[in-house]
Amino acid sequence: MTYRAPLADMGFALKYGAALAPALEQGLFGDLTMDVVDAVLAEAGRFAGEVIAPLDRIGDRYGATFKDGVVTTAPGWKEAYRAWRKGGWNGLTAPTEWGGQGLPQVLNAACVEMWNAASMAFAVGPLVGMSAIDAFTVHGSEPLKRAYLEKLISGEWIATMQLTEPQAGSDVGALRTRAERAADGTYRITGQKIFITYGEHDLTDNIIHFVLARLPDAPPGTRGISLFLVPKFLLNADGSLAARNDLRAHSIEHKLGIHGSPTCTMIFGDQGGATGFLIGEENAGMACMFTMMNRARLAVGLQGVGIAERATQQALAYARERRQGRTAGMPATESAPIIAHPDVKRMLMSMRALTQAARTICYVTAMALDRAERGADQAARQAAHARASLLTPLAKAFSTDIGIEVASLGVQVHGGMGYIEETGAAQLFRDARIAAIYEGTNGIQAIDLVTRKLPLAGGAVVEAFLGELRRIVDAVNATNDPALGWSGVRLEEAVGSLARATSWLLAHVDNDADEALAGASPYLRLFGVAAGGCLLAQQALGALRPGADAHPRIALARFFAENFSVQAGALERTVVEGAQGVISADPALAQ
């Protein structure tokens, strides 16, 4: 199963979706040029395709193994990680003063997509670490950063994020891991964490755990959570590894997918307490988490895009080779490649269109993160931060939902062979499933979108975004290009549905919270099919330049508008009218 980085699709999403070209012209990224962006993407694509992708099946087959507290990754994993780290990929966006490259989040987003397309089980470890680095860079003390940050950015050490406990999943505030103040200013951490990605492994000689825990006098819930850096090995004054800290992996999970990624149960404090160092203030752990949350959720969304892309490439290749049946007028002695059948074409176009829509939503979100960091003034940075906050749950949940859908279609295109492990289509389907669950389930993302993000600035943040979608619709209508079919009409209807459902939710979110919550997931989907359609149309318009071949972009945009954006009307009704059916569901569920 090969992987070829889709540089053309990425380029369109970056240039016309995320508006990278004007950002470069404005000097948002200093003297960075499109040539350099293209060169970085080409090299990342080569590395992903040639070095990481061949390991994906091996990781799935061998998995990670656990023996006497030691986790061994699959054959080839260590060497690939070493090469990836040497390439400087871990610190692409990290500050240059700590050894990073200071490049844009939007460029890293495209790279994260490629690492995950090549092997999600491989990429998920560093991905968690990159998000932890963000929180640490902002909230860590200078001495702590001097000791740990450069090695985390270079990838010499990998970080973990440890929130989940048996009784504390979506409800992080229920966590019980304890942190006791020690006389030397450090803390003693005791407790158990579950489902910890790369909690133990053999890729690096130290692992730096970022652990949420509760002080004895902490207030209940999320207001009483603190964040600690808890290294596997403590450090000597010169930075070399000292004694092993009081923590261990107890076991690893047997899972549906991402077999190459060890998912660990972690025990802290068998011998009195692991030494932990406070990040930020006591009881302000959630504020630190919020720093990394936008980035981590976007990264998981990009896992959905990566898996969808890989599944699409594989299905297309299979559909061109596999011959079954005949098309109209074909002699009885011949058979057609299945790609010639309209139903298979529909599946393949759905895969391509959903993937490109989700990709663009993710890149647009990443660009908002960049503008939030680098915007010209405070007002621009705040507006961009609000935009990123609005779009993050959409990027995470829409992209991971379509990751599963597209991988499932990939199995379907393969027919019976899709269900057989040898083709690899089944692995993508299994791997895709987790991304809708971790880093906040997609249900929690939808609730976040409706209850926290729509009300931002009294609804002005979402209204500004709707305004941009309307301008794209106007531009589509203004082209009058028959090749776009019903696109303009369908997109106008979809944005209208999104606007009406948004107003309805804003009116109900405070007083009829259950009604608003009942419609949250269909609303997020509605947002995705409306925004995704507009963003694809924007790329089609971008392709309508003299000398450019606009046909593929127009075909994709038209297909999405007429087959997915058109669903917006039904989704609007699900949000507004379907909520009562959810609220009155108890008798049916009691049976």
> In the complex, which residues of this chain contact ligand FAD (CB under 6 A)?
128, 161-164, 169-170, 195-197, 255, 263, 434, 437-438, 440-441, 443-444, 447
Shorter beta-carbon distance to ligand FAD: residue 174 or 417: 174
CB of 19 to ligand FAD, least distance (A): 32
Q: CB-hemisphere CA count at 13 Å for 251?
A: 5
Catalytic-residue membership of 421 = no
CB of 358 to ligand FAD, least distance (A): 20
Of 309, 439, 492, 572, the active-site residue reads: 439
Shorter beta-carbon distance to ligand FAD: residue 189 or 473: 189
Distance CA 382, CA 385 (A): 5
Shorter beta-carbon distance to ligand FAD: residue 429 or 560: 429
CB of 465 to ligand FAD, least distance (A): 25
Identify the residue whose tokens are 């923590």.
247
CB of 363 to ligand FAD, least distance (A): 24
CB of 288 to ligand FAD, least distance (A): 14
CB of 456 to ligand FAD, least distance (A): 20
Q: Give the burial class of 231: count Cβ atoms within 10 A of its Cβ; 0-12 exposed, 13-18 middle, 19 or more buried.
A: buried
Shorter beta-carbon distance to ligand FAD: residue 261 or 313: 261
CB of 440 to ligand FAD, least distance (A): 6
Shorter beta-carbon distance to ligand FAD: residue 177 or 355: 177
Shorter beta-carbon distance to ligand FAD: residue 174 or 550: 174
Shorter beta-carbon distance to ligand FAD: residue 187 or 438: 438
Measured CA to CA in angstroms, residue 566 lies from 27, 486, 490, 553 at distances of 38, 10, 6, 18
Distance CA 148, CA 136 (A): 10
Distance CA 355, CA 333 (A): 37
Q: How many CB atoms lie within 10 A of CB 395?
A: 32
Answer for the pair 428, 305: CB distance below 8 angstroms, yes or no: no
Answer for the pair 53, 118: CB distance below 8 angstroms, yes or no: yes
**Which token pair is 357?**
């829509």
Q: How many CB atoms lie within 10 A of CB 344?
A: 21
Q: How many CB atoms lie within 10 A of CB 218?
A: 17
Q: Give the burial class of 217: count Cβ atoms within 10 A of its Cβ; 0-12 exposed, 13-18 middle, 19 or more buried.
A: exposed
**Which token pair is 496?**
């209208």
Distance CA 216, CA 226 (A): 11
Measured CA to CA in angstroms, residue 258 lies from 249, 426, 520 at distances of 18, 12, 28
Distance CA 446, CA 565 (A): 19
Catalytic residues: 439
